[in-house]
Amino acid sequence: MQNIYLSDRTTRDIDRRVAKILRDLGNPEPPLRLEEVRHVLQLDLGWYSSSDDGILRETLHRITMAGKQLLSRPSLLLDIVKKFSLKALWQPDRKRIILDAELPDLKKRWAEAHEIGHSILDWHEPMMHGDEKATLSFSCHQQLEAEANFTAARLTFLRDRFSDQLFSSRVTLDSVKELSRTYGNTITSGLWRAVESFDTPAFAMVSQHPRSCLEMNGDLIRYFIRSRRFAQEFQHVSPTRLFDCLGTFCRRGNGPIGTDEVTLRDNHGIEHVFFVECFFNRYDALTLATYCHVRSPSVSVL
Amino acid sequence: MKMNEDRDWLLTKANEEDNCVISVGGLACRAVAEVKSHDEEIPETTRRVAFARLVELSRRKLRLTIEQLAEQADVDVSQLVEIEEGECSAPEPRTIYNLSRVLNYPPERLMAISGLAKPRGRRLTQATVRFAARSEPVNLLSPEEEEALLEYVNVVIESTDGD
């Protein structure tokens, strides 16, 4: 999954709404308490799990989306939840967020912030109903999800505070990890925010271990995050090729697994050097690549 | 895990809570849509023409310039120009929502005509095809365009599932 960038007008609108919420909370220190955000927005929170799906069943009989269709398949909502691994739902009519109780705590926090994001953006409400009148296109759904993610990030990273602090010194995987913890967020979301804040070319990857991927199931690359300039200037550089490159200098095992300088060609064929570092936390390999300089002609090329 | 699948109970509950709506997100909406069989797509070129004309004629009916409509709806002029020229394949959801409020159309309907969603039911689809065929860009709203616009707008506002 790659990050997509929102238009300036949309991001300004979102940021205005987030700014108001944070002002109403007295511009709090990190980590942001989401229960306070929900209190300001008057949102309820509920939970479901495979062992306690009462809230889904309670909700099920209220669904009139597709009318009689659902009555003939009363387990449809549970099918949907399982089929799409939905971890969080938002009920605009009840102003309630429903989360999967089995999520790890940090992921619960992000899932909750994401659903709060949907609730803040009033243009999401008519589009998020399970409406019998229309089916959202995939690209529209992706856009709405990206907007909710952006909103969640602006909230939980307190708008520009995280990036201002991060960029006050050299950005490394360690600095991203530490500051993400301070803000109460996952390293993945911290990496995401960090890379999107770079005004130089940069990228990050969340993937399988580059030396052990044949032993693991699932997608090789879960997330490929590019700074705006990287997305614009290195359009032909594929995440698969970058992943293969990691295998040439990373070692097996956990923790820091490798660093190297990697040369990439931009859209015009000019070569640039990036400093790449990789860390494996037993679940994912986290890679951060930051821009160094234009390559001098005498050095060998990737 | 055990749930009540008694049909009579479900029917009773559905009748008690008619018109309540739950949002389960776009993916869920799409999943349910997969089991329905009577969706009808509007051909892409036709849809763009109809949407472009609907926005342009509605704007002119309100006696607004493109810049004025963009300002009232808080959307980019460039995106509005693209929409009215039929060049916008994927408008932003926010743009469509804001336009629906200024032009006074149900946002769900405008989503379907703009391409952000696939419409259900035949009536809107057929009306969109007719409207695209009838409308033509001229500076002033002709009586025929006025009539075509009124007829199409009535369908946009009033059509329901299964029409």
Q: What is the pLDDT of residues A50-98, one digit of tens each?
A: 566 666 656 554 444 433 344 445 455 555 555 555 667 777 766 777 7
- From the list A64, A76, A140, the residue facing B18 with the nearest CB is A64
pLDDT for position A217: 54
- Which of A16, A75, A124, A140 is the mutation pick for testing B, counting most B CBs within 10 A? A140
Are the CB atoms for A63 and A130 separated by under 8 Å? Answer: yes
pTM of this prediction?
0.75
Integer Rg of chain B from CA: 18
- Which of B36, B74, B94 is the mutation pick for testing A, counting most A CBs within 10 A? B94
- Which of B2, B3, B10, B22 is the mutation pick for testing A, counting most A CBs within 10 A? B22
Are the CB atoms for A116 and A96 separated by under 8 Å? Answer: no
Nearest to B36 by CA among B130, B104, B121, B131: B121
ipTM of this predicted structure = 0.76
pLDDT tens digits for range B109-127? 898 889 888 876 788 888 8
Chain A residues lying within 8 Å of B32, measured CB to CB: 65-66, 69-70, 76, 80, 130
pLDDT for position B13: 57
* Lowest-pLDDT choice from A34-43, A256-265, B17-26, B149-158: B17-26
Buried b (16+ CB within 10 A) or exposed e, B143-157: eebeebbeebbebbe
* Percent of all residues in chain B with a pLDDT value above 70, rounded to a whole number: 69
**CB-defined contacts A:B, below 8 A:** 184
Query: Do the bridges between strand A88-91 and strand A255-265 make them parallel or antiparallel, or are there none, so unpaired?
Result: unpaired
pLDDT tens digits for range A102-152? 777 777 898 899 989 999 999 998 876 555 555 788 888 889 999 999 999
Chain B residues lying within 8 Å of A70, measured CB to CB: 32
Does the distance separating the beta carbons of B111 and A140 come in below 8 Å? Answer: yes
- From the list A92, A130, A145, the residue facing B32 with the nearest CB is A130
Half-sphere exposure for B23 (CA within 13 Å, toward CB): 23
The percent of chain B in helix, strand and coil, each rounded to the nearest 5, is 65, 5, 35
The percent of chain A in helix, strand and coil, each rounded to the nearest 5, is 45, 20, 35
Cα B155 to Cα A69, A134, B105, B123, B125, distances in angstroms: 25, 15, 11, 8, 10
pLDDT for position B134: 80
Instruction: Tell me if residue A88 falls in helix, strand or coil.
Output: strand
Does the distance separating the beta carbons of A133 and B20 come in below 8 Å? Answer: no
* Choice between B16 and A176, residue whose per-residue pLDDT is larger: A176
| Cα–Cα distance, A100 to A86 (Å, whole number) | 8
For residue B107, the chain A residue with the least C-alpha distance is A126
Query: Do the bridges between strand A221-226 and strand A134-136 make them parallel or antiparallel, or are there none, so unpaired?
Result: unpaired
Residue appearing with tokens 């032909």: A236
* Choice between A104 and A301, residue whose per-residue pLDDT is larger: A104
Integer Rg of chain A from CA: 21
* Lowest-pLDDT choice from A30-39, A77-86, A219-228, B90-99: A77-86
For residue A51, the chain B residue with the least C-alpha distance is B1
Chain A residues lying within 8 Å of B120, measured CB to CB: 132-135
Q: pLDDT-based confidence at A239, cuts 50/70/90?
A: very high
Chain B residues lying within 8 Å of A4, measured CB to CB: none
- Residues in CB range of A108: below 8 A, 6 or more apart: A99, A100
Does the distance separating the beta carbons of B117 and A127 come in below 8 Å? Answer: yes
